[in-house]
Each structure stands twice: as C-alpha cells, then as structure tokens.
C-alpha cells in the first residue's frame, strides 16, 4: 500500500488553461465570408482581442505539467489568431504551437540605460564646475 501511495504521489498533475478551438471547428469558418458575429456564434468569444488595434481575435490554450517539487513545465500550447478587415470580415486564420514561440525573460529586475555607467563618486563630483557663480546669485 505504501509503495502504491508513493507511486501515485509521484504522478504528474496536468492542468489545461484557456481555450483554442479544434481544427474541426475552425474548418467551419470561411475566410472572406464569415464575420465577427458568425465567428462568435461558431466558436465563441476569444480570450484576447487585439492589443493596439481591433483587427484580430486570439484563442490561447496551454497544458501545464507539475511533478512534485519541480518547476511546472508547459507541455502544449495552441494559439489561434483570426484576423479581420475594416468590414469585420475574416481575412486569415493562423495557428501557432509551442514550437513557434520564443522565450522572453520578463523578470530581469534591471532597467537598461544607455550611455556611461557612473560610480557614486563620479555622480557626486560630476557637477562641480558646471554651475557658475552667476547662476547661484540669480536663484537667490
């Protein structure tokens, strides 16, 4: 019994987040014919709209596997991007997977700056001589 509990305790926990319509549902959408309304009726509202413009809908689904104390691992990701023109007609249906993505480090905790890196002493002493006596007298 203890061996069975240990084996079950080491099995991964798999969770799915989001929704990306399967290819069967996407085959019902005709490029150049369907509109936002008909897409909404056929596969539902998207999880995301266009960020800067309202030209596309994005359906995103991810499968994550968690095994004991290990870091969670994304095992599958599907993204369906449906593009619309100014008349709300479908112009393209694009499918992306986990292999199409790039790793992006979102938590670097540093802000890159351009120019020279100054030490504390250089910063403190850097303005000596840059202020004239006339500027000091005008401020009073």
Enter the tokens of residue 34: 């369907």
Domain-located, residue 139: no
pTM of the model: 0.62
Q: How many CB atoms lie within 10 A of CB 43?
A: 20
Give the structural domain span for 40. Answer: 2-99
Using an 8 Å Cβ cutoff, are 81 and 57 in contact? yes
Residues 34-50: what's their mean pLDDT? Answer: 87
Count: domains in the chain = 1
Collect all residues with Cβ–Cβ distance below 8 Å to 18 and sequence separation of at least 6: 47, 59, 60, 61, 62
Domain-located, residue 36: yes
3 state SS of 6: helix
**H helices present in the chain, as ranges:** 2-9, 23-26, 36-43, 120-125, 133-139
Domain-located, residue 87: yes
pLDDT band for position 42 (50/70/90)?
A: very high
Q: How does strand 56-66 pair with strand 90-97?
A: unpaired
pLDDT tens profile 103-134: 666 666 666 666 677 777 877 777 776 766 67
Cα separation, 134 vs 140, whole angstroms: 10
């Amino acid at each position: 019994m203890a061996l069975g509990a240990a084996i079950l305790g080491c099995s991964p926990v798999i969770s799915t987040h989001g929704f990306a319509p399967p290819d069967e549902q996407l085959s019902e959408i005709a490029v150049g014919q369907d509109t936002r309304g008909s897409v909404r009726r056929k596969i539902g509202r998207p999880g995301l709209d266009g960020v800067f413009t309202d030209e596309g809908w994005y359906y995103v689904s991810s499968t994550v596997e968690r095994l004991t104390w290990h870091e969670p691992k994304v095992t599958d990701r599907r993204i369906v991007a449906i593009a619309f023109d100014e008349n709300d007609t479908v112009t393209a249906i694009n499918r992306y997977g986990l292999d199409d993505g790039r790793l992006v480090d979102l938590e670097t905790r540093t802000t890159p700056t351009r120019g020279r890196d100054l030490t504390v002493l250089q910063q403190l002493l850097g303005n000596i001589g840059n202020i004239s006596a006339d500027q000091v007298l005008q401020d009073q």
